[in-house]
Amino acid sequence: MSIRDGMARGAAWMVLFKLVDRGLGVVSTLVLARLLVPADFGLVAMATSVIALLELITYFGLDTALLRQRETTDEHFNAVWTLNVLCGCAMAVLMVALSIPAAHFYREPRVTAVICVLAAAPLVQGFENVGIVTFRKEMRFDRDFRFMFYKRVVKFVLTLMAALWLRTYWALVCGMLLARISGVAFSFLMQSFRPRFSLRSLGDLMHFSKWLMLHNLMQFLRDRGSDFVVGRLAGPASLGLFSVATEISSMPGTELVAPINRAVLPAYMNIAHDLPALRREYISVMSMVSLLAIPLVAGFAICAPFFVLLFLGPKWVETASLIEILAFYGVTRIMQSNAYSAFLALGKPQYYVAISFIHVCVLVLMLVVLTLMHGLQGAAWAYVISTVILLPVDFYFITRFMGVRASEYIGALWRPVCSAALMYVGVRIFGPPLPGAVALPASQAAYSLVVCILIGAPIYVLAVWTSWIAAGRPAGTAESAVLSRMRAVWNRVSVFGVG
């Protein structure tokens, strides 16, 4: 099997998982939104923001280092597992120690109990069988899919059961703990490797992993910085609204991109020695991601008011405008996606850390200023504006180290971006009027949502197809790959029909 075929199959498995994961996530969020109140989500977001920060401080990214290491032995895996166990124990102690200061910071005493209970999560997580990394290293993504799928189903079922029983934020806490426990159990059931305590060979991996730890810290501050700023300045109810809006707005774009990047990382590392091949695959993946994800993000921005009224209910109506703004943040994130995997493959993660550091500095400053000036909408715009500012910086480093020309980069993006913009304008002109502050009946919201999709989807497909033909039907593009795949499927169907 070629690298490209393996990458395509891996991406398919990971996208399938994300579809299942997000499908369960949507159902879970919608049900929990009916059973709980925004303050419940905000309270748990306060606690998990502290926990996530500590996890990143004690996370060395050694699983990625194992992927990059060409020759690995049992001693490498034992060293990683041992360090994970030690970090899990340290995490639990730190969480208990910081539970009271965190409650004082947020001015919310209930945070203390939530953090103390959740301290059991990293303690359990540390014992997860590190042997599951071989699923990705050997590009056996079907097994990786099953492992993540089992964990997700357990969390989904048990969280909903707890919510129906408790009707408080403790249901969310129970779901998180049970997911960690099930993950450890499944890791040993699905992987025959049995780790043992040993730190031998750890030094071979630590040099590379320090940059991964710094990157994860920057990523946390970028993605969860709003938890600290909004939680501190606006309180748990506002943070609950913002957290749910962020989660929902990320689904169409970043949740499609993330599984693809998870699959392409081991493939990129296999061809990192061949820079022209790496550059071709980078542009190919960027083109396909843009073609599929950008219209989903734009479409979600269009449909946000109707989606909220239909699925979340009137008490969440304030999230509609936030989802629409944050959807544009998703578009800019798509343009920057895939780069981190390429930098890891090239052995230059320090440069992506530098990009992330600049992004975090700009974002935190804008979050504080715009949240104080414009509330939750200001916080949402802070994400959009800061990411747009960083696009040229990101492109500079890609050009420098991969030799990607501006024409190649723009060529992978301009047709999806322009077509999605045309779709957005077309639905705004010809689609149903926005409800504003009016709480539409569920039936009318559903009708408006369907109308938006029926108008927007044909506009996008026609615009992409027309622009591709106008560009001379360039080969090697995402459009040509999709067309080739559609023809292959049609031929199989035709043969089957004839037989």
143-156 residue pLDDT tens: 877 888 888 888 88
Contact (CB, 8 A) for 45 and 247: no
What's the pLDDT at 419?
A: 93
Q: What are the structure tokens assigned to 216, written together?
A: 């994860």
Q: Which residue has the higher pLDDT, 272 or 126?
A: 126
Q: What is the mean pLDDT of residues 380-385?
A: 90
- HEC profile of the chain: CCHHHHHHHHHHHHHHHHHHHHHHHHHHHHHHHHHCCHHHHHHHHHHHHHHHHHHHHCCCCHHHHHHHCCCCCHHHHHHHHHHHHHHHHHHHHHHHHHHHHHHHHHCCCHHHHHHHHHCHHHHHHCCCCHHHHHHHHCCCHHHHHHHHHHHHHHHHHHHHHHHHHHCCCHHHHHHHHHHHHHHHHHHHHHCCCCCCCCCCCCHHHHHHHHHHHHHHHHHHHHHHHHHHHHHHHHCHHHHHHHHHHHHHHHCCCHHHHHHHHHHHHHHHHHCCCCHHHHHHHHHHHHHHHHHHHHHHHHHHHHHHHHHHHHHHCHHHCCHHHHHHHHHHHHHHHHHHCCHHHHHHHCCCHHHHHHHHHHHHHHHHHHHHHHHHHHHHHHHHHHHHHHHHHHHHHHHHHHHHHHCCCHHHHHHHHHHHHHHHHHHHHHHHHHCCCCCCCCCCCHHHHHHHHHHHHHHHHHHHHHHHHHHHHHCCCCCCCHHHHHHHHHHHHHHHHHHHHHC
Q: How confident is the model at residue 464 (pLDDT cuts 50, 70, 90)?
A: very high
Q: Is 166 exposed, middle or buried (0-12, 13-18, 19+ CB in 10 A)?
A: middle
Contact (CB, 8 A) for 148 and 17: yes
Q: Which of 5, 112, 125 is nearest to 59 (CA)?
A: 125
- Cα angle: 48, vertex 129, 58; to 5 degrees: 40
pLDDT value at 87 more than 70: yes
The percentage of residues in the chain with a pLDDT greater than 90, rounded to a whole number, is: 7
Q: Which has the minimum average pLDDT: 3-12, 175-184, 274-283?
A: 3-12
Write the CB contacts of 499 (distance below 8 Å, at least 6 apart in sequence): none
What's the pLDDT at 499?
A: 44
Q: What is the mean pLDDT of residues 96-124?
A: 87
Q: What is the mean pLDDT of residues 227-234?
A: 81
What's the pLDDT at 47?
A: 81
pLDDT value at 2 more than 70: no
pLDDT value at 467 more than 80: yes
What's the pLDDT at 253?
A: 59
Domain boundaries, the chain: 1-211, 251-492
d(CA 129, CA 74): 12
Rounded (10°) CA dihedral 231, 254, 413, 362: 20
Q: How confident is the model at residue 226 (pLDDT cuts 50, 70, 90)?
A: confident
Q: What is the mean pLDDT of residues 257-283?
A: 77
The residue type of 230 is V
Residue with token string 């910071």: 105
pLDDT value at 404 more than 70: yes
The Cβ-side half-sphere exposure at 394, using a 13 Å CA radius, reads 20
What's the pLDDT at 461?
A: 93
Q: What is the mean pLDDT of residues 67-94?
A: 81
d(CA 83, CA 195): 12
Residue with token string 């079907």: 142
What's the pLDDT at 6?
A: 58
Mean pLDDT of the chain: 80
Tell me: the pLDDT tens digits for 118-137? 888 888 888 888 888 877 77
Q: How confident is the model at residue 109 (pLDDT cuts 50, 70, 90)?
A: confident
Q: How far is CA 327 from the centre of its chain?
A: 13
Contact (CB, 8 A) for 209 and 60: yes
pLDDT value at 496 more than 60: no
What's the pLDDT at 209?
A: 66
pLDDT value at 207 more than 90: no
Expressed in angstroms, the distance from the first to the final Cα of the chain is: 29
What's the pLDDT at 208?
A: 63
What's the pLDDT at 425?
A: 92
d(CA 300, CA 315): 20
pLDDT value at 12 more than 70: no
Q: How far is CA 160 from the centre of its chain?
A: 22
Tell me: the pLDDT tens digits for 407-460? 888 888 889 999 999 999 999 899 888 776 556 777 888 888 899 999 999 999
Distances (CA, A) of 479 to 2, 72, 250, 336, 465: 21, 39, 24, 20, 8
| Mean pLDDT comparison of 63-67, 233-237, 494-498, highest-scoring range | 233-237
What's the pLDDT at 81?
A: 87
Contact (CB, 8 A) for 340 and 482: no
Q: What are the structure tokens assigned to 346, written together?
A: 């090239």
What's the pLDDT at 457?
A: 92
What's the pLDDT at 462?
A: 94
What's the pLDDT at 498?
A: 46
pLDDT value at 172 more than 90: no
Q: How confident is the model at residue 203 (pLDDT cuts 50, 70, 90)?
A: low
- Helix 38-57 and helix 236-250: axis angle, to 10°? 70
Q: Which of 324, 327, 261 is nearest to 288 (CA)?
A: 261
pLDDT value at 138 more than 50: yes
